[in-house]
Amino acid sequence: MNFIANNLPVAIIFLVAVIMVLKSCIKFVPHNTAYVVERFGKFQSTRGAGLNFIIPFIDRISAKRSLKEQAVDVPSQSGITKDNISLSVDGVLYFRVLDPYKATYGVDNYVFAVTQLAQTTMRSELGKMELDKTFEERDHLNTNIVNSINEASAPWGIQVMRYEIKDIVPPNSIMDAMEAQMKAERVKRAQILESEGDRQSAINVAEGQKRSVVLAAEADKAEQILRAEGEAQAILAVAEAQAEALRKIGKAANTTEGQKAIQLDLGTKAIAAKAAIARESSVVLLPDSGTDAATIVAQAMSIIQTLNKNKSAGGQEDDMA
């Protein structure tokens, strides 16, 4: 017991030393992280996520590399476009470590290196494009920058995922000129739209007038056709009425009373005609025996009788047929 009591401090020291040695031997590597281990100052291995063991005092962890995607703000830098316009451009760079060994031994500070590379590549790519293209083809510019950085950063074990331009700021004079150009373009578009509207309105008015004229002509044509049909029907009605009147007169004239009435009517009309002639002229010619009223009546009666005989003869022939 005395031996144990006398050697208790030594035992405690030994136990603490063992615990410290075990702690230095056991390494828990987080997920998406890699530890670079050196043995006697020389690269020994790369340890992945999980439980790992190293030899104390012989092995040491020289670097801890995150394998997650990282975002680095690229400071604003000046660049000159193909048409000699100075621009101020900034952006964001997204990358990740593919090879921890190369990221540790291939470059001293890979974050600083890839940021500087992004700046120089941006200036190089801007020099290949004109000012208008830098605004219109921003995606194309981002893609070219990523491809160029990946080619240069391959020895560092770095892969650039994407590069996004945050802002492109041209000089104030260029901004004023661009604003004036945009304003002129808007005015031009407004004038074009207004002229198109006027042209369409004029076309619509002309088509409306044309349609109105066509409809008016068709209406006038229809009216003339209807009027002509009405006049034709009126003429036919008058002719049929006259024919019916003549048939009735002829039928009545075939009787003794009808012939007397015709004689009276003809005599009356002859006397009225002579009276009219006497009123219109100061010279009155007395008719001879061939032109007096009685002679005229007799001639008219002779004609009527002849017509009646012809009608009777025609009716008998029709009956015989």
Query: pLDDT tens per residue, the chain (321 residues)?
Result: 555 555 667 677 767 777 777 777 888 888 989 999 988 888 888 888 888 888 888 888 888 898 999 999 888 888 888 888 888 888 899 999 999 999 989 888 889 999 998 888 888 888 888 887 887 788 888 888 899 888 888 889 999 999 988 888 887 777 677 777 778 888 888 888 888 888 888 888 888 888 888 888 888 888 888 888 888 888 888 888 877 776 777 676 666 666 666 666 666 766 676 666 656 655 555 555 444 555 655 665 665 566 556 555 555 554 454
Cα 260 from Cα 257, distance rounded (Å): 5
Q: Show me where the domains of the chain are located.
A: 2-66, 70-170, 254-320
**Strand ranges, E, within 67-144:** 70-80, 86-97
User: What pLDDT score was predicted for residue 321?
Assistant: 46
Residue type for 234, please?
A: A
Radius of gyration over every alpha carbon of the chain, rounded to an integer in angstroms: 63
Residue type for 273, please?
A: A
Q: What are the b/e assignments for 104-122, b being 16+ CB within 10 Å? A: bebbeebeebbbebbbebb
Residue type for 209, please?
A: Q
Using alpha carbons, select from 81, 74, 96 the residue that is nearest to residue 165. 74
User: What pLDDT score was predicted for residue 137?
Assistant: 80
User: What pLDDT score was predicted for residue 95?
Assistant: 92
Nearest-5° Cα angle at 216, 214 to 222: 100
User: What pLDDT score was predicted for residue 297?
Assistant: 56
User: What pLDDT score was predicted for residue 208?
Assistant: 86
Q: Report how far Cα 131 is from the mean position of its chain's Cα atoms.
A: 30
pTM above 0.75, yes or no: no
User: What pLDDT score was predicted for residue 292?
Assistant: 54
Residue type for 263, please?
A: Q
User: What pLDDT score was predicted for residue 252?
Assistant: 67
User: What pLDDT score was predicted for residue 280?
Assistant: 63
User: What pLDDT score was predicted for residue 294?
Assistant: 58
User: What pLDDT score was predicted for residue 299?
Assistant: 60
CATH class of the domain comprising 70-170: alpha beta
Using alpha carbons, select from 145, 21, 48, 150 the residue that is nearest to residue 90. 145
Asked if 62 contacts 38 with a C-beta cutoff of 8 angstroms, the reply is yes
Can you say whether residue 30 is alpha, beta or left, with left for phi > 0 and alpha for psi between -120 and 50 degrees? Answer: beta
